[in-house]
Amino acid sequence: MSANNETSDLAAVEAMLRAARGGDRTGSVRAITLNLIVLAPDADGVEAAVQALEHVGPSHPLRAIVATPTEGELRASVASSCWVGASERQVCSERVVVEAGAKALPSAVTSLLVPDLPVFLWWQGEFGDDGLAEQLSRLASRVVVDSGECGLDGVAAARRMGGSVADLAWAALMPWRDAVAGLFDGPSEVKALERIQAVDVRGPENEARLMAGWLRSALDSEIDLHREGRSQHLERVTMQSGGKEYLVERRGRGRLGTATVPGLVDYPVLLASPPRSSLLANELSRLSSDRLFEQALEAA
Amino acid sequence: MATTAKRPAPNPLRAGLRVGGASVPTVFVIYGASGDLSQRKLLPAIYNLAVRGLLPNRFAVIGYARSDMDNESFREFARAAVEKFSRTPVDDHLWQAFAQLLHYQSGSFDEEGFRVLGDRLEAIDAGHGTGGNRVYYLSTPASFFPVIVQAMGATRLNRPPGVARVVIEKPFGHDLVSARELADVVHRSFRENQIYRIDHYLGKETVQNIFAFRFANAIFEPVWNNTHVDHVQITVGESIGVEHRAAFYEETGVVRDIVQNHLLQVFSLVAMEPPAAFDADPIRDEKAKLLRATKPMTLENAVRGQYGDGYVAGEQAAAYLDEPNVPPDSNTPTYIAARLEIGNWRWAGTPFYIRAGKRLAKRVTEVAVQFKRPPHLPFPVDAVEQLEPNALVLRIQPDEGISLRFGAKSPTPTLALRTVNMDFLYGSAFLAEVPEAYETLILDAVRGDGTLFTRQDSVERSWEIVDPLLEQWRKGAPQVYPAGSWGPDLADELLSRDGRRWRRP
């Protein structure tokens, strides 16, 4: 269920949210676990954020402040969404969509944060190396970007703001990294890792570079990257060692792939790319920086 | 005795991956694969772990039983089991991949059969790169445990090229002597750290939340002792009767069925000292210390009951003695209430009252910590006459949550204090799907994490705590209580003689 309301007075937002969740009743306990600021560059971004929040909310009851820079007057709309689980219990999230000038936006967002709860910033699109990005990043313990949108340079710019940074594209690589690591889980295959000099990747550039960066940093060796293909998603990762080929390849468009290890029967691997909202939800579960990601990014 | 478990060579690409999942290639052997437990719990749990991406990439299941099946028919059997009992629906696409992991070997639980099984395991290792790592799950009646373990030792299945672990279902004996006998047999083939004694109760998220509640929150631990706690009540109530398990229940009764394992495990989690780390041995050390400090149960501090007929939640219920296959003169207790005492610095003088039974008013498992009254109440007597002491209730099932009872001023012109409850429901903060206990425990066995499994010293101490009572209760008759009540009158007297009363869950 949900309720909506609009205002130009941010001081009225708390009362509107209270009304949206049906008022404070005796014994009611509001369970909110975090603040999420979403920088949405335009109306499409707001829509994408609202859709993602509908999926994130059940696992992370939160207050989302969706901020959009505009030329017009300050305007806020308020909504509360609740979800009922299998046990017929209900969790609720709050959403405030704020439009304001870029200079006014950080103060508007600050006034809407729930005290004493962690703050995350999800920055959509290209990461601006400007005042707005700096001020919003300063509010957040963790900044979430997508190198598929902002490139690895954008991720590096977010890191320069000083906080912990997450990349949704890196998060989406997890099943692939797991499958690639699985090629070398056996004692004899571990030795083959020492002789790997190059990785061939069919897939987008940012993911290919992150894959190569991960291998270089994890194996502490120079590994060449050969990339091909124009697809939006990773299709294949191949490595050669001692004249033998180790391979993970997606099967069609499905969630499954095949792993090939010399001398063994090919086996299925789960290459499910979770939806963006699930990736975001996972990133909201941690506050600290992801050391592996940072090392992979530096080596990419 | 098995050799020390060999550690697999570390894979540098594994760092940071599979946090919470398993990665070491493994073959999972189910003895009794065509049986009820395998069908209802194990195969659905393994399927769900695979769907969640938590099993090693190189993983195989080999079902072993007397039933005559081949790989294909075992896969069909598994599919039917998953369709019927899995908490998630079967995904056709994923099933095709999952089914490739399933293998079957038919045979008896003897050396001849196990030699064939050994050959089969070697063949799977060679083709699937599972490295000789094995988890053996004994999903058979307990009477087969010694037979299977001995035959495994004789055929060296306990000494594969990789790591071997054996998972044993409760009961771990039926008293102290038989528990030790079973352990002696198992220890001839496996070291203690290779043995995973499963008590599915400990796999429940809700039970594990006791750890989180106690040791992740600084505000409760300072008052978690005899200075502030008046007493603790632990209730494990079932609304169902023995149903079709009378033969089993006649052998066990409520003490062996609930108290010796589930209830004493919950009790030890509530009362143990904080462990140095959330790892298997530190936690099991603290639980064992707590059980060692717990005095054996005595006749004068315990009450037994047996349900008579009555109504449970509006439905008529037959008396225990009228259940199918129950002897008319059975004195098997279906209810126990007891006072447990802990002889240590933290809890000396603070009793733990436990009760468990079938055909009680409702199904509930909870721990109620009742605090002492304030030393002085600076209010008129009539203002506080309805004020109850503070109580903190950890509800384990159903409606898992925490409830805090405290006093508040009633909005009246005259000063009046009332007791109010503040309820927190876990389901109101997290809607994530909760895995089945068997998923958690199977995954832990594959990962080699023994934290949630019971160690032999705790098993033996639990029997030492309940054995005196079991011996004394062999004779005499339990007090009959109406089905749908909270137990016999004597249970109320057990508390009233201490100036206390049972909480109504």
Integer Cα distance of B433 and A246 in angstroms: 36
For residue B424, the chain A residues in CB contact (below 8 A) are: 29, 31
- B423 contact A CB<8A: yes
Helices (H), A23-167: 43-56, 105-112, 131-139, 147-160
Q: How far is A84 from chain B (nearest CA, A)?
A: 8
Q: Determine the 3-state secondary structure of B301 from DSSP.
A: helix
For residue B57, the chain A residues in CB contact (below 8 A) are: 178-179, 182, 185, 259, 267, 269
Is there a domain that residue A159 lies in?
Answer: yes
Average pLDDT over residues A51-66: 87
| Domain range enclosing A264 | 172-270
Q: Which pLDDT belongs to residue B313?
A: 80
Is there a domain that residue A284 lies in?
Answer: no
Integer Cα distance of B131 and B164 in angstroms: 11
Interface test with A, best of B7, B17, B96 (most A CBs within 10 A): B17
pLDDT band at B4 (very low <50, low <70, confident <90, very high): very low
Integer Cα distance of B124 and B140 in angstroms: 23
**Distances in Å between the alpha carbon of B374 and those of B229, B351, B366, B389?**
11, 19, 24, 8
CATH number of residue A93's parent domain = 3.40.50
Which residues, numbered 62 to 91 in chain B, qualify as contacts with chain A under a Cβ-Cβ cut-off of 8 Å?
Answer: none
Q: Determine the 3-state secondary structure of B37 from DSSP.
A: helix
Q: Which pLDDT belongs to residue A197?
A: 87
For residue B100, the chain A residues in CB contact (below 8 A) are: 267-268
Q: For B128, which of A91, A219, A265 is closest by C-beta distance?
A: A265
Integer Cα distance of A148 and A206 in angstroms: 6
Integer Cα distance of A83 and A58 in angstroms: 6
At B212, give phi and psi (nearest 5°). -60, -45
- Do A123 and A181 share a domain, yes or no? no
- Do A250 and A150 share a domain, yes or no? no
For residue A177, the chain B residues in CB contact (below 8 A) are: 13, 17
Average pLDDT of chain B is 91
Q: How far is A182 from chain B (nearest CA, A)?
A: 6
Is there a domain that residue A293 lies in?
Answer: no
- Do A153 and A7 share a domain, yes or no? yes
- Do A53 and A150 share a domain, yes or no? yes
Residue where a domain terminates, one of A100, A133, A167: A167
Integer Cα distance of A243 and A245 in angstroms: 7
Asked if B131 and A187 come within 8 Å (Cβ–Cβ), the reply is yes
- Burial of A136 by CB count in 10 Å (0-12 exposed, 13-18 middle, 19+ buried)? buried
Closest-CA residue in chain B for A185?
B11
- B9 contact A CB<8A: yes
Q: Which of the residues B103, B200, B231, B262 is marked catalytic?
A: B262
Judging by DSSP bridges, how do beta strands B417-425 and B401-409 pair with one another? antiparallel
Is there a domain that residue A281 lies in?
Answer: no
Q: Which pLDDT belongs to residue A3?
A: 47
Q: Which two tokens stand for residue B450?
A: 């023994």
Helices (H), B8-160: 36-37, 43-51, 71-85, 92-99, 111-128, 145-154
Cβ contacts below 8 Å, chain A against chain B, sum to 124
CATH number of residue A197's parent domain = 3.30.360
- Do A61 and A193 share a domain, yes or no? no
| pLDDT tens-digit series, residues B425-445 | 776 666 667 788 899 999 999
Average pLDDT of chain A is 86
- Do A131 and A197 share a domain, yes or no? no
Integer Cα distance of B101 and B186 in angstroms: 28
ipTM of predicted complex: 0.83
- Evaluate if residue B125 carries a pLDDT over 80: yes
Structural domains of chain B, ranges and CATH numbers in brackets: 12-198 (3.40.50.720), 203-372+457-496 (3.30.360.10)
B107, B116 Cβ separation under 8 angstroms:
yes
- Do A76 and A186 share a domain, yes or no? no
Q: How far is B424 from chain A (nearest CA, A)?
A: 7
Is there a domain that residue A145 lies in?
Answer: yes
- Do A143 and A176 share a domain, yes or no? no
Asked if B97 and A256 come within 8 Å (Cβ–Cβ), the reply is yes
B422, A30 Cβ separation under 8 angstroms:
no
| Percent with pLDDT over 70 in chain A | 93
Integer Cα distance of A11 and A172 in angstroms: 39
Q: For A219, which of B12, B18, B429 is closest by C-beta distance?
A: B12
Give the closest residue to B114 by CA, choosing from B182, B64, B71.
Answer: B64
Interface test with A, best of B71, B422, B430 (most A CBs within 10 A): B430
Residue where a domain terminates, one of A133, A167, A201: A167
B466, B260 Cβ separation under 8 angstroms:
yes
Is there a domain that residue A203 lies in?
Answer: yes
Asked if A186 and B25 come within 8 Å (Cβ–Cβ), the reply is yes
Q: For A292, which of B10, B16, B420 is closest by C-beta distance?
A: B16
Q: How far is A70 from chain B (nearest CA, A)?
A: 34
Number of domains in chain A: 2
Element holding B197 (H helix, E strand): strand B195-198
- Burial of B72 by CB count in 10 Å (0-12 exposed, 13-18 middle, 19+ buried)? exposed
- Evaluate if residue B179 carries a pLDDT over 90: yes
Asked if A185 and B58 come within 8 Å (Cβ–Cβ), the reply is yes
* B454 secondary structure, DSSP code: B
Average pLDDT over residues A143-164: 90
Q: How far is A57 from chain B (nearest CA, A)?
A: 9
Closest-CA residue in chain A for B399?
A87
Q: Which pLDDT belongs to residue A160?
A: 87
Asked if B431 and A91 come within 8 Å (Cβ–Cβ), the reply is yes
For every residue of B426-450, which 3-state class applies, written as one string? HHHCCCCCCCCHHHHHHHHHHHCCC
Q: Determine the 3-state secondary structure of A110 from DSSP.
A: helix
Handedness of CA B460, B466, B469, B470 (dihedral sign): negative
How many C-beta atoms surround the C-beta of residue B21 within 10 A?
16
| pLDDT tens-digit series, residues A1-44 | 444 588 878 878 888 887 776 665 544 456 778 899 999 999 99
At B430, give phi and psi (nearest 5°). -135, 125
The residues, ordered by sequence, that sit 6+ positions from B471 with a Cβ below 8 Å of its Cβ are none
- Do A256 and A129 share a domain, yes or no? no
Q: How far is B59 from chain A (nearest CA, A)?
A: 9
Integer Cα distance of B368 and B395 in angstroms: 8
A269, A248 Cβ separation under 8 angstroms:
yes
Q: For A182, which of B57, B428, B429 is closest by C-beta distance?
A: B57
Residue where a domain terminates, one of A127, A143, A167: A167
| pLDDT tens-digit series, residues B23-82 | 889 999 999 999 999 999 999 999 999 998 899 999 999 999 999 999 999 999 999 999
- B56 contact A CB<8A: yes
- Per residue in B153-163, is it b (16+ CB within 10 Å) or e — as a string? bebebbebebb
- Angle separating helix axes B43-51 and B71-85, nearest 10 degrees: 80
Q: Which pLDDT belongs to residue B1?
A: 47
- Do A16 and A161 share a domain, yes or no? yes
Integer Cα distance of B191 and B29 in angstroms: 18
B172, B260 Cβ separation under 8 angstroms:
no
Is there a domain that residue A294 lies in?
Answer: no
Give the closest residue to B354 by CA, choosing from B289, B261, B444.
Answer: B261
Judging by DSSP bridges, how do beta strands A164-167 and A142-145 pair with one another? parallel
The dihedral region occupied by B412, where left means phi > 0, alpha psi between -120 and 50, and beta the remainder, is: beta
Answer yes or no: B262 catalytic: yes
The residues, ordered by sequence, that sit 6+ positions from A116 with a Cβ below 8 Å of its Cβ are none
Q: Which pLDDT belongs to residue A9?
A: 80
Element holding A276 (H helix, E strand): helix A276-283
Q: Which pLDDT belongs to residue A86?
A: 58
- Do A120 and A153 share a domain, yes or no? yes
- Per residue in B121-134, is it b (16+ CB within 10 Å) or e — as a string? beebbeebbbbbbb
The structure tokens 């079973």 sit at B182
Is there a domain that residue A109 lies in?
Answer: yes
B109, B151 Cβ separation under 8 angstroms:
yes
| pLDDT tens-digit series, residues B352-379 | 999 999 999 888 999 999 999 988 888 8
B419, B405 Cβ separation under 8 angstroms:
yes
What is the CB-side half-sphere exposure of residue B232 using CA atoms within 13 A? 26
- Do A92 and A219 share a domain, yes or no? no
- For chain A, list the strands marked E by DSSP: 2-7, 34-39, 62-69, 75-84, 90-100, 119-123, 142-145, 164-167, 198-202, 224-228, 236-241, 244-250, 256-260, 267-270
